[in-house]
Amino acid sequence: MSIEVRNLNYIYNEGTVFEKQGLRNINLTIEDGEFIGIIGHTGSGKSTLIQHFNGLNKPSSGTVLYNGDDIYKKGFSKKQLRSKVGLVFQYPEYQLFETTVLNDVKFGPKNIGLSEEDIDNNARDALEMAGIPKEMYNVSPLELSGGEKRRVAIAGVLAMKPKFLILDEPTAGLDPGGKNEILSLIDNLHKKDGVTIVLVSHSMEDVAKYATRLVVMNDGEIFISGTPGEVFKKYRELEKIGLSAPQTVYFLKELKNLGYDVNTDIITPDEAVREIVKKIHVKRI
Amino acid sequence: MIKSENLVYEYKRNISDNKEDRIRVLDGLNIDIEDGQFISIVGHNGSGKSTLARHLNALLMPTGGTLWVNGMDTSDENNTLSIRQNTGMVFQNPDNQIVASVVEEDVAFALENIGVPTDDIWRRVEKSLATVGMIKYREDAPNHLSGGQKQRIAIAGILAMKPRCIVLDESTAMLDPGGRKEVIDAVRELNSKEHINIILITHYMEETIYSDRIFVMNRGRIVMDGPPEHIFSDISMLKKYNLEAPQAVYIADRLRKEGFVINKPVLSMDDLVSVFADYKIGVGNVDRGKKS
């Protein structure tokens, strides 16, 4: 399974005086089982790009293939596609609308025409995955905390059992505890349930910890792409386009400058601690 | 100066047609903020941070207790206008707080509203835009700016009012790393050079390490209050309040548990680097080259 973006261009307000190129010549293949982090400054085209993955946006030229099929060709079922490629928007909790948590989560599977029984089972599975306790199933979504609301909104997408889950800044505005809950939910979906993940994020620390590959967007184009280690090596270039490397990267580079023999490919704090314990021999107590 | 005594904020909620209950968002806060301080407020979602912020410029008024801003009781409506000129707010979404189609007109908006003479308006707008480093965009359309630049325009609009205090309510939450740094650098400078009170509400612990004091809020109360090195010295406590430590603090804590001698307080990666620089020159019981 894969999503393949081919020579994609997207122009806002094409043919008017407000015409503006949103995406330029994007080529990208998302393979089964990947965890892709998409980073880029505000306005770099991240959200516009991911809204092509399930056919919400129509490219000005180029196309998107799902398992090799052109999703924009006549007769291709977008409804089917959207149940396989789940998209969680920014601040998805603003879209909660039903009277109870359970009903809200059922909305998606209802729309793709599953049986009553499947709808109910899927919704309950999704809520369980999202870590929502059973006592909350029948309360109004408006009663929940910020982090809980967001997990319910994500459950609404999970209830369609997507193969691909695309999340647009799912942790923005959450406290550190709520943020970690969402990230470990996503990590579990990737590792245990084999869901392919595309995570749009402004947190370099988060994508460093979880992503297997990073795609860096700048002014509507793919600036660089590679493993987190490869991408964050180019921190100077990242800084020029409004990004940075995780703090750990700068820390290890400074240790190296001090003359310590440490591996500067390391990008997460836990790895950094292990490396220092292994390589830096000072007297310990 | 900002001071409160047993500040309470409650609202009523209908649970059925004839039943209602009271939700207590702020539960008896006693705060005392001196002029020129840089205060960070952290806490879980729903802990009352934004509700407190909205009291500081009388967008909300206490339902119990008293809050004074520069000696003015915020619940007295005669004070509302001067409190709002004294204390400006920057909100989370940069796109929701820009009203004009040209940058300098946006910065001038509030001044026009309070009837400042035109010559004075332009002088103040120019100075404010220069202070936040946005003067070269004065004639641009705000919609072409980045998130960090838009937030700096919002800050300039407040600066033009010559405030004593700026409250940032998660103003960096929607920004990329570059934009976050722009905003934090701008408010740090306003604090150190112009001595403007900064109240920074954030979920990014890294942004709080420069503050004079951090308030930790939990369920409508301030449960911890102190300088960053004090607040971040107890990571397990922070976890209990749904928070975490900055990464440098986390790494230092893990290394201490591995037996590394780290005597000085560590808040930033620079602090951590200086610990290892000290090892090189023999500070901190170095025993180079040998395994311990």
Of B239, B242, B250, which has the smallest distance from its Cβ to A178's Cβ? B242
Percentage above 70 pLDDT, chain A: 100
DSSP lists the bridge partners of residue B241 as: none
Strand A196-200 to strand B32-33: parallel, antiparallel, or no bridges (unpaired)?
A: unpaired
The contacts of residue A118 (CB under 8 Å, 6+ apart) are A109
Q: Mark whether A253 and A210 lie in a shared domain.
A: no
Q: Mark whether A97 and A186 lie in a shared domain.
A: yes
Residue A75 within any structural domain of the chain: yes
Between the CA of residue B121 and those of A177, A208, B110, what are the distances in Å?
45, 47, 10
Residue B281 within any structural domain of the chain: no
**What CATH number corresponds to the domain at position A97?**
3.40.50.300
| pLDDT tens track for B93-105 | 888 888 999 999 9
Domain count of the fold of chain A: 2
Residue A42 within any structural domain of the chain: yes
Residue B62 within any structural domain of the chain: yes
Q: Mark whether A255 and A223 lie in a shared domain.
A: no
Residue A173 within any structural domain of the chain: yes
Mean pLDDT of the region B140-161: 91
Query: How far apart, in whole angstroms, are the C-alpha atoms of residue A179 and residue A173?
Result: 9
Residue A241 within any structural domain of the chain: no
Residue B196 has pLDDT above 80, yes or no: yes
pLDDT recorded at residue A282: 85
The contacts of residue A37 (CB under 8 Å, 6+ apart) are A199, A200, A201, A206, A207, A210, A211, A213, A214, A215, A228
Domain count of the fold of chain B: 1
Residue A22 within any structural domain of the chain: yes
Q: Mark whether A186 and A80 lie in a shared domain.
A: yes
Residue A210 within any structural domain of the chain: yes
pLDDT recorded at residue A201: 96
Q: Given A228, A254, A275, which residue is the final one in a domain?
A: A228
* Mean of all residue pLDDT scores within chain A: 94
pLDDT recorded at residue B292: 40
Give B-chain residues touching A145 at CB under 8 angstroms: 44-46
Q: Which residue of A has its CA nearest to B245?
A: A176
Give B-chain residues touching A273 at CB under 8 angstroms: 251, 254-255, 258
Percentage above 90 pLDDT, chain B: 80
Residue A236 within any structural domain of the chain: no
Residue B45 within any structural domain of the chain: yes
Q: Mark whether A166 and A265 lie in a shared domain.
A: no
Q: Mark whether A221 and A268 lie in a shared domain.
A: no
Of A178, A258, A272, which has the smallest distance from its Cβ to B280's Cβ? A258
| pLDDT tens track for A154-171 | 999 999 999 999 999 999
Tokens 């207590």, residue?
B24
A15-24, A61-70, B3-12: which range is least confident on average? A15-24
Residue B288 within any structural domain of the chain: no
Residue B260 within any structural domain of the chain: no
pLDDT recorded at residue B284: 58
Residue ranges making up the domain that contains B35: 2-228
Put simply, the chain A residues between 242 and 261 with a CB less than 8 A from any chain B CB are 242-244, 246-248, 250-251, 254-255, 258-260
Q: A180–B244: do the CB atoms touch at under 8 Å?
A: yes
Q: Mark whether A88 and A165 lie in a shared domain.
A: yes
Residue B20 has pLDDT above 90, yes or no: no
Mean pLDDT of the region A67-78: 95
Residue B126 has pLDDT above 70, yes or no: yes
| Residue B159 pLDDT level (bands cut at 50, 70, 90) | very high
Tokens 């505890």, residue?
A177
Residue ranges making up the domain that contains A87: 2-228
| pLDDT tens track for A235-281 | 999 999 999 999 999 999 999 999 999 999 999 999 999 999 999 98
Q: Mark whether A221 and A167 lie in a shared domain.
A: yes
* Mean of all residue pLDDT scores within chain B: 92
| pLDDT tens track for B204-234 | 999 999 999 999 999 999 999 999 999 999 9
**What CATH number corresponds to the domain at position B125?**
3.40.50.300
| pLDDT tens track for B231-290 | 999 999 999 999 999 999 999 999 999 999 998 899 999 999 999 999 988 765 544 444
DSSP characters over chain B? -EEEEEEEEEEEEEEETTEEEEEEEEEEE--EE-TT-EEEEEE-TTSSHHHHHHHHTTSS--SEEEEEETTEETTSGGGHHHHHHHEEEE-S-GGGS--SSSHHHHHHHHHHHTT--HHHHHHHHHHHHHHTT-GGGTTS-GGGS-HHHHHHHHHHHHHTT--SEEEEESTTTT--HHHHHHHHHHHHHHHHHH--EEEEE-S-GGGGTTSSEEEEEETTEEEEEE-HHHHTT-HHHHHHTT----HHHHHHHHHHHTTB---S---SHHHHHHHHHHHHTT-S---TTS--
**What ipTM was assigned to the predicted interfaces of this complex?**
0.88
pLDDT recorded at residue B60: 96
Give A-chain residues touching B201 at CB under 8 angstroms: none
pLDDT recorded at residue B290: 43
Q: Mark whether A83 and A220 lie in a shared domain.
A: yes
Q: Count CA atoms closer than 13 A to B159's CA, side-chain side.
A: 29
Q: Mark whether A224 and A97 lie in a shared domain.
A: yes
**B87-90 β-sheet, strand order:** B87-90, B165-169, B197-201, B38-43, B213-218, B221-226
Mean pLDDT of the region B159-186: 92
pLDDT recorded at residue B291: 42
Residue A188 within any structural domain of the chain: yes
Residue B204 within any structural domain of the chain: yes
Strand B38-43 to strand B213-218: parallel, antiparallel, or no bridges (unpaired)?
A: parallel
Percentage above 90 pLDDT, chain A: 88
